[in-house]
Amino acid sequence: MSAVMKLSLLLAVIAAIGCGIATTSASKPDVDIANLAPTPNKTADAKPQELQTAVFAGGCFWGVEAVFEHVKGVTDARSGYAGGTKKDPGYEDVSSGDTGHAESVKVTFDPAKVTYTQLLTVFFSVAHDPTQLNRQGPDRGTQYRSAIFYMNDDQKKLATDYIAAIDSAKVFKTKIVTEVSSLKEFYEAEAYHQDYLERNPTDSYIVYNDMPKLEALKKKFPDLYVK
């Protein structure tokens, strides 16, 4: 077997097992938190504003990226690593759980079309289960933790206030464990992780864990959902 073929096989295996083998589904909130955010701006001719960035971690980045790619006003969503100490980490580094990094997604969005609070609502209601500590569904380890990496003080306040509000309202049976930290650096993941759901819609992990998230997004946020 040639070196190229061996490398291709290795990448395929890593991609297949990288986010774990599906065994359970995320728990559901007791209250529909989709109503906690204001409805989308329905002004068809809303003028574009300067693009902003948000970074979220909620388990395997394949599904989180796919959810945000289908949100109106999001111009780009990229899988990567954030929250750790190792510079320029690779997938195997992060998967060891020793770097402090979490699988994360950098979301670029137009605030004239979708607000940061709306992104928070999508994150907490359909993208992942924020009550699972250092895991997400079948995936275990700090690299799969729930986290928000804020870009500025405004995002920090919005995120912490939002978490306090849903904890106070007892939306979930247990408290939110989402980490809220300043973004130090975002390292983009390898090319084979980008747009993984779009390129591998029949992957068993994607079918079981991530396709339901897109269905939930479409159902809960019809004004925000885009194909």
Helix/strand/coil (H/E/C) assignment for every residue in 84-125? CCCCCCCHHHHHCCCCCCEEEEEEEECCCCCCHHHHHHHHHH
- The catalytic site residues sit at 60
C-alpha 135/C-alpha 58 separation (Å) is 9
Residue 71, beta-bridge partner list: 225
Instruction: Tell me the Ramachandran region of residue 194: left when phi exceeds 0, alpha when psi lies from -120 to 50, beta otherwise.
Output: beta
The SS3 assignment for 150 reads: strand
Please report, for residues 10, 64, 194, 201, the alpha-carbon distance to residue 218 in angstroms, rounded to integers and kept in the order given: 35, 14, 22, 17
C-alpha 104/C-alpha 213 separation (Å) is 17
Residues 6+ apart with CB under 8 A from 207: 201
